[in-house]
Amino acid sequence: MNVKTRLTFNSLYVCIITKQRYFGLLVIIYIKEGRLREILPTTPWLSPEDQLEVVEVLYRFGIIKVSNNRDLPLKSGGTTDIYISLRDARNNPGAIEYISNLFAETLLRTVIDRFVEIPDSVSCFAGPISLFAGLPYLTIREQAKEGRVSDAKIIGNANPCDRIAIIDDVITDGASKIAPYMECKKRKLNIIGLIVLVDRQQGWQKVFKENGINMKVWPGMTLHDVRRCLIELDLLQRCEENVEQINPIIVALDGKNWNELLPILDQLRTTGCIFKVNDLVFAEGFDHLLPELATYGRVMVDLKNHDIPNTLVNTCARLRKHNPWAVTIHASGGPEMIAAAVKTFEGTATKVLAVTVLTSINQADCEEIYNRPPTEEVLKLAEIAAKAGAQGLVCSPQEVAMLHENYPGLLLVVPGIRSPEKSVSGDDQKRTGTPQQVMSDGADHIVMGRQILQAANPVAEVNRILNEDLQFF
């Protein structure tokens, strides 16, 4: 691919790029028109479709390496399931050309006078990028070169107030970007931002803030995007199927935002847990959150819907296209509402779970609301749900044995679960039980949130529950 020209008029740009074949894959970056950017956007510079293509090409070049065993070593210590090394492009001229054009096309969407490369991950691309984009560049050395008469830390020339973009392969915690930023600021260069291929989402925002770094980061994709693409391309396994089938734990992802959850989800992915979402769905939206979350495991959409049948059908129809593992509705909505939800999901694997009496309701509250004690009300609601066709029930630990005996064909999902002698902050559950107790009584799945999310090591805590509390392995 070759960028043929860059035209500017009234702050517009046109990029013309030719077709090339890499490993038999036809790669096309077609003509794009739009306003040149002086302020970098918040969305990645690769579209989801482009991300899928780029990940596949980089995997074929050997630049992206994967391991379902999460045993790829990291420079900082530890291991990972995905390792990205643009340095390895040096082994393949085709990879250098491909990646250089990705950066060149992106730089042409900005208003800059030159770009700055950080050795040595992107050093092999700097020359081709300069050629393709028609932009001069600077190289910032990590260490000043001894005995040099001119500027010992920078190769190349720039004028004060020149608009520049810094480029690098990835950003992790951001520490390695501080020195180049400071060197550019010392020379009074106008930094519009840092452009990277991948944001590994490892806390660079905090590091930048602590060090007074005011610099936008514009990634082509996040590590989450890379993982999603690899799984979609069947190059990485979400989790072993038998592990997903045997694990009864549903992790409640309540009270955290998406970026907070990503590192936890990344770790929990191979444990086979189901992920339950409620407030996060409202924050992120069905169409964004559910496909993204499915990268890490099966999804239970715990909206506890309770509305007129027509409104409930509209909600279920929106959920249906994302094929969640299960959705929850209130059994007290009545048989017509439950049946409408079940009918909407016909032909899919999605289960409709009817919520009986919330675990936060004690006996006094239940008698005030329903004029019955919890046991009687749960039995009545279970009868309504079963007759309406619900595939499962959500109940407290106290009703599991009773419901298992009366409705052996229904799936029983049980929240309010705590390991013995385990306490969590902010606990508002009133009818609770232990993992071993409810599974022995006949539960199919147990819902545990804070005990896992607040653990120092969530994966270790899941494995401890499976091995010690449930003695599964």
Torsion of CA 341, 344, 347, 351, to 10 degrees: -20
Q: Return the beta strands (E) in 319-453 as ranges.
A: 326-330, 351-355, 392-394, 411-414, 445-448
Residue 377, helix vs strand vs coil: helix
Q: What is the DSSP string of 156-191?
A: S---TT-EEEEEEEEESSSGGGHHHHHHHHHTT-EE
Contact indicator for 390, 331 with CB cutoff of 8 Å: yes
Type of residue at 473: F
CA distance 47 to 150: 42
Contact 113, 91 (CB under 8 A): no
Encoded amino acid at 336, one letter: E
Candidates 65, 304, 380, 430; catalytic one: 304
Q: Where does residue 306 rank: exposed (0-12), middle (13-18), buried (19+ CB within 10 A)? A: middle
Residue 209: active-site member: no
Strand pairing class (82-84; 64-66): antiparallel
Cα Rg, the chain, nearest whole Å: 27
Tokens representing 188 are 């009074």
Q: Which two tokens stand for residue 209?
A: 């803030």
Residue 199, helix vs strand vs coil: strand
Q: Which residues contact 47 (CB under 8 A, 6 or more apart)?
A: none
Tell me which residues are annotated as active site.
304
